[in-house]
A and B are shown apart, each in its own frame.
Chain A
Amino acid sequence: MKMLGNFLRVAVRILVRDRMYTVLNVAGLAIGIAAASMLGLYVWHETHYDGFFSKADRIYRVDKTEFMPGREPVTYSSTPKPLAPLLPQDFPEIETSVRVHDEPVVVARDGSPFREHMQVVDPDFFRLFDLPFIAGDPATALAAPGTVVLTESLARKYFNGVDVLGRSLTLTNGISLTVSGVIRDLPTNTHLRRDAMLTNIRTRLGENVDGWFARMDTVWNSNFLQTYILVKPGTDPVALTARFPAFLSARDPNYLSTGTNKPSKALVLTGLTHIHTDPTGVPANLLGVLHGLEAVAAVVLGIAVVNFVNLSTSRSSLRVREVAVRKALGAPRSMLVGQFMVESVLLTLVAAVLAYVLLEVAMPASVAALGIRFDRAYLYSPWLLLAELLGVVAVGGVAGLYPALVLSRPTASVLLRGGPTAAGGAGVRALLVVAQFSAAILLAIATIVIFQQTRYVSSQQLGFNADGVLLLRELHQPEARAHIESFRQALLRIPGVAQAGAAFHAPSDGSDSTDNYHVPGTLDDGTIVFRSEYIGHDYLQAMGVRLLAGRLFDRAATADALRPPGSTVGEGGVTVRASDPPGRTAVLSWRAAQRLGFHTAEEAVGRQVIYDVDYPLTIIGVVDDVQFNSARVALQPTAFLLDESGLDVMAVRLTPAADAATLAAIDRLWRDSFPTIPVNREFLDDHVRDAYAAELRQGTLLAGFTGLAILIACLGLFGLAAFTAQRRTKEIGLRKVLGAGVPDIMRLLVWQFSKPVMVANLIAWPLAWLGLSHWLQGYAYRIALNPLVFALAGLAALLIAWVTVAGHAARVAAAKPVDALRYE
């Protein structure tokens, strides 16, 4: 104990004496630990969704995989309404099932309408999802229709308090619901909607929903709600899944077994805790991204640790004489090792404390800046503290061990003569610097390429002009449905509005409606699949889609005329199905025309194409390819079909002269026309960019951490440069005595640190090339890797390294040589 006190005193004295070294070392490590903890916490948060529900391991969501001829199977989380009640009936191992349907409702507060999400659920909802209640009883809160369960925030929003059992919540359509429970706000790490109200599945929410919703009770081919099951303990989900096909053929009248080259489906189970990281229907690979972030965290921490080891060992080699004297005076080896370890662990501990402070400050800020979900409570988790403590011992130990062993081994006489250690460590240090800069350059290149790719996919290949287009949504609401055309006319009268046209969906909405098409007289083998986009008359014009040949839909042209809604008698008296398009014409994208075998756009115009099995359409025009999805998937050949019965979103093209007054006028017009529907408008380019929000976020995250990695690497380089300058003082002094000028010495020192960075480039380039090529494979539309980016990143690293060491080099170079020679 007496020894430890002595060690500590000496350690503190040395750390204070070598202030710059202490600060560099601690700062680098602290930033590294904070950054790695931040990424680690984020990844942990993302991979631990929904685990807090007490029955999480027995809850599954029933998802549905669709098999369409000529397409890759796709899994969706939406299921038909009749499915859930039958599952516990047919499978004894299923305790209960719960359906969740999200229905938009409008609630008035102080005279303004607010759009809210109403989760329409089965009464057993809280048996699966045991969310804590502030008021009410989870067993009965959803037992009867006409009640509503609110979150704490929603209760405060509408009633200014949480003690609101029995109060009524009134929707703008006049329907009134009784509050039967108030739950705590949901934590951030759940896939359930956090801002939703909950009501019984039999609650009546308005005439526009109720009829349809009741009809769905027996409809098996309409998939729109989520089905969750709670299984008995010990149930094997694989065995259960294997029995679903038999269940479907017994229960689903439309069911066709798989492998028949006809549309088919299968039910699959997704464990509750996997829902977030393994999303259905989305090509985004969240787990891959998370693993990527883990790797980045490891790299940043690795760079920081290497720094620490590097600086510690280099500094300790300046203490050869001290060690020699201690040895000569009889200090045993174990004591010297102990001394170095104490110093190192002490330093690491300081860094860890600093890191923790940094984390507390930086994490909430970055979470807010990035718009990611994160629970602050994580910051105070004892696991984090434990992990940091373990890290301190490990990193401090390793960093202390190396110099301890190297310096304590040789005999005092060897050390007094300058020791063999001095030269030996330099090679290892150079190697570590190479490793650090390789990692930093790799990250830098990755960051640039990810940003390039994101910009590319979000700006290229759209096929329409997204600038200056405003999207107004929710025209499908019953209050608006009948007035779309008059609303459109009114819009056109607002100064600053150039064009307006409506469609079912806007680009990047994630809609995915496809059908089979073929040219009459060719074999319909179901392999030609186009995206069907249902649009109004003026939509393509408003979107600025380029016409290649023929014409767009035209009110004056009789062939485009629609059969009346609900009519089953088509033009010329033929009987048509309800699912057939109401028009007789189609506008094709260029890719669709090519797929049908036309060589030019002109050749396709006027020809016929068969929709589905036997519904003929005349091709009236061919337009440029349009990216209605995200660029992760290839441009789909598309058929635009005229249908005015389901228009929901109005695309409004503004003139360059449009300003805030134009937007205000549009909002005013909306409120005057549809007072019960909240204004829901956004710019198309924002909307399209939103589709790449994940990539942008990843890019920003990566950029931030790349910056940190480079910063830490530079801190280390700075320290090493200072150390080298000090170590080589005598040699440099001699060189000057022998005629070396300031520039000669500068060149010498700068070159010494350029070499490892240049070698690092040679290592980082091929690795980055391979890794990024692989990443880009995930995009149907991707940039070509540009060697210039690689060169630029490398050059930037070199420049940064130069700037970092130039200060030291200049100081040493300009010093009077006598100072150097005295230094012995």
Chain B
Amino acid sequence: MLKLVDLTKVYRTEEVETTALNQVNIHIKQGEFVAIMGPSGCGKSSLLNIVGMLDNPSSGQYWFGDEDVAGYGERKLADIRKKNIGFIFQSFNLIDELTVFENVELALLYHDIPSRERKERVKEALAKVSIAHRSSHLPQQLSGGQQQRVAIARAVVSRPRMLLADEPTGNLDSANGEEVMNMLTDLNGEGTTIVMVTHSMPHAQYARRIINLFDGQVVAENLRAA
């Protein structure tokens, strides 16, 4: 599904130059569930952002299917992203001014889907994460766990082939965290490729493969026995 070849990301600010990713090579197959671990600042988010086409690498190749998208501009990336990738963030990133329903619907607004079908799919997605009864609430009126469920519904409603999750359980208590991990496992079971960054070893255990990063480099890969 995707292949990173000698991928490097360097951030330049006025005074310092930070190499967040250094010659990373990773291959992820269709339908995999990959967890990325590592200490704070080792480059996990940078990696996920590039994989999610929210940012460009400084050098190296990023093969998505049979295209090297490393040098693509925002317009082209937006197009590929829209069709293939869903996101879940640690801080949920719901829009405060929109209701639960509207937040989820937002993910379909840019997909050219007739409004009736759109509404159906939003309802379906909300039901799937058991939050349908709160569909007209605003995000602040929900607990963290509920908000993350909305975020998951939003990420999957457009039926992406790949789901990227940056510390999805980081802000949740263990019960809620567990629930989110179960949902991700279910989605992976339905065929969605999942790449997840996490600090929690137990949660990483839901994945089939764990990639360890240190100082921008892949230091270990562990396959969990099936």
Contact A423:B75 (CB < 8 A) given known A738-B154, A739-B107, A817-B54 = no
A192 to chain B, nearest CB (A): 68
Whether A739 contacts B81 in the complex (CB less than 8 A), given A731-B95, A734-B93, A816-B74, comes out as yes
Sort chain B's interface into a size bin.
20 to 34
Are A816 and B55 in contact, CB atoms less than 8 angstroms apart?
yes
* A740 lies within 8 A of B54 (CB): no
B95 touches A739 (CB 8 A): no
Q: Name the contact of B54 in the complex, choosing from A418, A731, A735, A818 (C-beta under 8 A).
A: A818
- The reply on A429 being an interface residue by CB < 8 A is no
A818 B55 Cβ-Cβ under 8 A = yes
A737 interface contact, C-beta 8 A = yes
Within 8 A of A (CB), among B72-128: 74-75, 78-79, 81-82, 87, 89, 91, 93, 95-97, 106-107, 109-111
Query: Looking at the complex, which one of A418, A739, A742, A818 makes contact with B111 (CB distance below 8 Å)?
Result: A739
Q: How many residues of A contact B (CB 8 A)?
A: 21
CA distance A731 to B87 in the complex (A): 14
Residues of chain A from 327 to 350 with CB closer than 8 A to chain B in the complex: none
- Known contacts A735-B106, A739-B110; is-contact A818 B49 (Cβ 8 Å): yes
Flag whether B158 is at the interface (Cβ < 8 A).
Answer: yes
Encode A808-824 as 1/0 by CB contact (under 8 A) with B. Answer: 00000011111001001
Question: Considering only CB atoms, which chain A residue lies closest to B73 in the complex?
Answer: A814
| Cβ-based interface call for B169 (8 A) | no
Of residues 380 through 438 on chain A, the ones whose CB sits less than 8 Å from some CB of chain B are: 418, 423
Q: Quick check: B107 and A738 within 8 Å, CB to CB?
A: yes
Q: Map CB proximity to B onto A138-161 as digits: 1 under 8 Å, 0 otherwise.
A: 000000000000000000000000
- Whether the Cβ atoms of B74 and A814 lie closer than 8 Å is yes
Contacts of B81 in A (CB 8 A): 737, 739
Contact B97 A736 (CB under 8 A): no
B198 within 8 A of A: no
**What is the CB-to-nearest-CB distance from B42 to chain A, in angstroms, rounded to a whole number?**
17
Q: Which residues of B contact A740 (CB under 8 A)?
A: 78, 109-110
Task: Indicate which residue in B55, B89, B158 contacts A739 across the interface (CB closer than 8 Å).
Answer: B158
The residue in A738, A814, A821 that gathers the most chain B C-beta atoms within 10 A of its C-beta is A738
With contacts A423-B97, A815-B74 taken as known, whether A741 is within 8 angstroms of B79 at the C-beta atoms is yes
* Cα A742 to Cα B79 with chains together (Å): 10
With an 8 A cutoff between CB atoms, is B56 at the interface? yes
For B106, the closest partner residue in chain A by CB is A738
A744 interface residue (CB < 8 Å to B)? yes
Residue among B55, B56, B158 with the most chain A CB within 10 A? Answer: B55
Q: Do B106 and A816 have beta carbons less than 8 Å apart?
A: no
On chain B, the residues within 8 Å of A817 by CB distance are: 54-55
Q: Which residues of A contact B97 (CB under 8 A)?
A: 423
Q: State the CA gap A46–B137 with chains docked (Å).
A: 63
- Tell me the complex Cα distance, A734–B91, Å: 12
- Residues in A with CB closer than 8 Å to B96 are 418
CB closest residue in chain B, given A744: B110
Q: Report yes or no: A741 in contact with B75, Cβ–Cβ below 8 A.
A: yes
For B55, the chain A residues whose CB sits under 8 A away are 816-818
Find chain B residues with CB under 8 A from A737 CB.
52, 54, 81, 87, 93
Residues of B within 8 A of A731 (CB): 95
Q: List residues of chain B with CB under 8 Å of any chain A CB.
A: 49, 52, 54-56, 74-75, 78-79, 81-82, 87, 89, 91, 93, 95-97, 106-107, 109-111, 154, 158
**Using a CB–CB distance below 8 Å, which chain A residues touch chain B?**
418, 423, 730-731, 734-742, 744, 814-818, 821, 824
List 24 interface pairs A-B (beta carbons < 8 Å), by A numbering: A418-B96, A423-B97, A734-B95, A734-B106, A735-B106, A735-B110, A738-B87, A738-B106, A739-B82, A739-B158, A740-B78, A740-B109, A740-B110, A741-B75, A741-B110, A742-B78, A744-B109, A744-B110, A814-B74, A814-B75, A817-B54, A818-B49, A818-B55, A821-B93
The 10 tightest CB contacts between A and B, nearest first, are A739-B82, A818-B55, A739-B110, A818-B54, A738-B107, A817-B54, A740-B110, A818-B49, A741-B78, A737-B87
- List 10 additional A-B contacts (Cβ < 8 Å) besides A423-B97, A741-B110, A744-B109: A735-B110, A737-B54, A738-B154, A738-B158, A739-B81, A739-B158, A741-B78, A741-B79, A816-B56, A821-B93
